[in-house]
Structure 1
Amino acid sequence: MASKIVTSVVRIVFLVIFFLFLFYPDKLHIRFDYPDYPRSDNWFVRLAKLAFWFLLIIEILRIFYYGVVKAKAKGILANLVTITIPLIVTLIFLEIIFMYVPQSHEGVLSKASQIWWEKYWKPVNSLGYHDKEVEGNKTEKTTILVIGDSFAAGHGLEDVKDRFSNMLEEKFGHDKTQVYNLGVSGADTRDEAKRLQEFPVKPDVIVLQYFPNDIEKVAREKGVELSGAEPYADISGLSASIVRRFYLPNFIYWQLPHTGFSTFEKFVQTAYTDTTVLNAHLRDMSQMIAYRDSTKAKMYAVFVPFLFQLDKSAVYTKPVEDYLRKNGVTVVTLTDGIARIPEKERVVGKNDGHSSAPINKLIADRLYDVMKNR
């Protein structure tokens, strides 16, 4: 029996090396590189982790069997081991389960959100957009380009059919209209203008999805600081390492409140009332207007507010709305419609404040009603 325990211990030593390779690759100066890294959690890497945990369980139970059960060990140590081993195995099984539990999250901060991204962020076309492949200009069809950030891209929606751009194409008819979605998570107005200019298909219609944080990057450039804790800043040492690297503790961590919306709200308010920041932001917006003029496309702008701060959002973004209207852009507002939707139904999930399917339907309906008569 002693020899069997020794062989298990030897195998566990080799598993420790496997463990470091899988869970602490940075300590070994190793980097896993795969499509959409680090936003997506690779299925094959998780499969390797699954194999590690099962091998570890086998060796733990083997040592327990030969060292305690078959040896008929008694005493405090044997009793302690008898209690501890089932707890360890249970935790390992829970860790395995949460390796396959997806949950969308703003900023793809959690491990569950990386699983979500790998599972649901499809399709992705050859240009990198979360959309169908580009077919090119077809004269018999009206081409609509939807530009925006993660709200346009459909972050948090498990099916692109629930996204407003897809609903809009459905409403107008696939035989008459082609709608391309150029939404990218984290994009600001400057990025969006550049992507419009580089897109290979020229539009008949441009739809700009605008969110109050679109001013964030230019505000930072102009020295407006966003205070507040970074992710995982409230933990340190061993606990931080465990939470960052393992699925079960990471999932538990992100079910607890860690955000400071009031801090971000103050940042946005400062940005829109600072004329230096606002003027720079409007200059970026003018590039989009210039592109519209060069293509002779019609342009619409849909303003998605902070979904739980409707009135304040309208106040913040009013200068941008006024600028767009002044330049011939049809502005579509949503505040009254969103107010009729219960708060819990406005967002895609507990940890993700992006627009839910009902909000996307509202956007599609409003856009269609405005556009069909034009």
Structure 2
Amino acid sequence: MTSKIVSSLFRLFFLFILFLFLFYPDKFQVTFQYPGFPQSDNWFIRLSKVAFWLLFIIEILRIFYYGVVKSKAKGLLANVVTITIPLVVTLIFLEIIFMYIPQSHEGVLSKASQIWWEKYWHPLNALGYHDKEIDSSSTKRNMLFIGDSFAAGHGLKTVDERFSNIVGSRLGKEYNVYNLGVSGADTRDEAKRLKEFPVKPDVIVLQYFPNDVEKVGREKGLSLSGTEPYADLKGPALTLVKRFYLPNFIYWQLPHASFSTFENFVQTAYTDTTVLNAHLRDMSEILAYRDSTGAKMYAVFIPFLFQAEKSAGYTRPVEDFLKKNGVTVVTLNKEIANIPEKDRVVGKNDGHGSPQLNAIIAEKLTHIIK
């Protein structure tokens, strides 16, 4: 029996080496190359981790069997091992299960959201947009939707639920509709992507969200504290939560960064003339591009979904600026107020617009365009 335990310990040593390369590759300058890296563990990486855990279970059960059960060991240590081994095996099986449970989240912060991203973030066209391929041979008019994660459809399981696609289906005989939404984009980035897009627009639809001023605010010296992911963790807890699926899932079910901190940042940014004027200069780049193409332009203002009236007050200077420059501004405060709060967003951990909200945006926008 001793030889069997020793052989299992020998195999556990090699499994430990595999563990280091699978779960701590960055510590050894090891990079896995696959589509989506480092956004998520792809299917093969997760399968390798499952194989590791199963082999690990086999070895510890083998040691338990020969070291405790077959040898009929007694005493405190044997009792502790008898209690601990089933608990460890249960936690490992839960870890394996949570490797395959998707859940959308703000950004792609959690491991569950990475799984969601890999499963649902399709199609991706040749330019990297969450959209169909470009049809440069079409003679239809072109409508370009530009914006951040709300425009891109973050949290929606299919692009058919996205407001740009709904508008496209209703105006399909007249327009080619393209979505240039990118998570985390701000106004400066949107202007750049519009200019680089190979199709010239007849209509531009800008989706605007109050955090579009964030990057400019940071550049001008405003600070936003307490919003970095995992900032409230240190030491072994940080490693455990960042690298393993079960503790990561549990961690992200709990509240972390305070929304009030971000709200104060946004309020300050829109009332600081230095920040606001720099932001409006970035917006002028989009207007200049519109003028160069002769396109008609609409701007859809999506407020903070649980503080619609308040955040609409913050962004009013941008609305007024766009209206003065011939942009048709579409606001949604009344429509959002008619939706129950839980139905406004895609999930409790993801504050992006729900399918119901996207349908309402599309209905109002289609009506205005027509």
Which residue pairs with 1:157 in the alignment? 156
Instruction: Find the counterpart in structure 2 of residue 126 from structure 1.
Output: 126
**1:214-257: per-residue Cα shift (whole Å, max 9, x none)?**
01111111111112252112121111111111000011111111
The CA distance in 2 between the partners of 1:199 and 1:85, in whole Å, is 58
Which secondary structure state, in structure 1, belongs to the residue aligned with residue 100 of structure 2?
coil
Question: Which of 174, 177, 198 is equivalent to 1:176?
Answer: 174
Contact 1:149 1:209 in 2 (8 A): yes
Structure 1 residues 245-254 or 33-42, which shifts more? 33-42
Alignment check: 8 A CA contact 1:100 1:115 kept = yes
Deviations 1:160-180 (A, max 9, x none): 11000111111113x432110
Is the alpha carbon distance of 1:229 and 1:336 closer, same or farther for their aligned partners in structure 2, counting shifts above 3 Å? closer
CA distance in 1 between counterparts of 2:41 and 2:307 reads: 33
CA RMSD of aligned residues (A): 1.1
Structure 1 partner of 2:144: 145
Alignment of 1:15-26 (within 5 A): 15-26=15-26
1:332 correspondence with 2:333: no
State the one-letter code of the partner of 2:39: R
Alignment check: 8 A CA contact 1:8 1:59 kept: yes
Partner of 2:43: 43
Q: Distance in 1 between matches of 2:145 and 2:231?
A: 36
Contact 1:144 1:178 in 2 (8 A): yes
Cα displacement string for residues 255-283 of structure 1 (whole angstroms, at most 9, x for unaligned residues): 11102110110100111001111111111
Q: Count residues with an aligned counterpart.
A: 370
Paired amino acid for 1:41: D
Once the two structures are overlaid, the 10-residue window that deviates more, 41-50 or 85-94, is 41-50
Where does structure 1 differ by over 4 angstroms across 4 or more consecutive aligned residues?
A: none
Which SS does the other structure have where 2:315 is aligned?
helix
- Aligned partner of 1:274 in structure 2 is 272
Q: Distance in 2 between matches of 1:249 and 1:179?
A: 41
In structure 2, the residue matched to 1:96 is 96
Which amino acid counterpart does residue 154 of structure 2 have in structure 1? H
- Contact 1:219–1:277, Cα closer than 8 Å, also in 2: yes
SS in 2 for 1:108: coil
Displacement of 1:369 after TM fit?
0.4
Equivalent residue number for residue 369 of structure 2: 371
- Corresponding residue for 2:343? 345
Distance 2:281 2:153 in 1: 27
Paired position in structure 2 for 1:231? 229
Conserved? CA contact 1:144–1:204, under 8 Å: yes
The range that moved more, 357-366 or 228-237, is 228-237
> What amino acid maps onto 2:366 in structure 1?
Y
> Residue 272 of structure 1 aligns to which amino acid in structure 2?
Y
Q: How does 1:186-335 map to 2 (within 5 A)?
A: 186-335=184-333
Could you tell me how far apart the structure 2 residues matched to 1:292 and 1:235 are? Answer: 46
| Residue aligned with 1:135, SS | coil
State how far apart, in whole Å, the 2-side matches of 1:206 and 1:41 are.
Answer: 36
- Give distance in 1, aligned partners of 2:13 and 2:275: 57
Q: Measure the CA separation in 2 of the matches of 1:43 and 1:303.
A: 38
Q: SS state of the match for residue 176, structure 2?
A: strand
Q: 1:33: how far off?
A: 3.4
Asked whether the equivalents of residues 137 and 143 of structure 1 are also in contact (C-alpha less than 8 Å), the reply is no
Change (3 A) 1:331 1:243: same
Identical residues among aligned pairs (%): 74
Match of 2:62 in 1: 62
1:137 shift after superposition: 5.2
Measure the CA separation in 1 of the matches of 2:258 and 2:83: 41
Contact 1:222 1:276 in 2 (8 A): yes
Q: 1:26 to 1:4 in 2, by over 3 A?
A: same
Please say if 1:84 is aligned against 2:84: yes
Indicate conservation of the 8 Å contact 1:111/1:247, yes or no: yes
1:52-81 deviation per Cα after TM superposition (whole angstroms, max 9, x unaligned) = 000001111111111112222222222221
Q: 3-state DSSP class of the match of 1:127?
A: coil
Secondary structure class of the residue paired with 2:305: coil
Deviates more, 1:114-123 or 1:26-35: 26-35
TM-score of the pair, normalised by structure 1: 0.97
Q: Name the SS for the 1:18 alignment partner.
A: helix
Query: What amino acid is the match of 1:25?
Result: P
Secondary structure, in 3 states, of the residue corresponding to 1:207? strand
- Which amino acid letter does the alignment assign opposite residue 310 of structure 2? K
In structure 2, the gaps of 5 or more residues are none
CA contact (8 A) 1:137 1:201 kept: no
SS of 1:206's equivalent?
strand
2-structure distance, mates of 1:32, 1:237: 25
Distance 2:312 2:73 in 1: 71
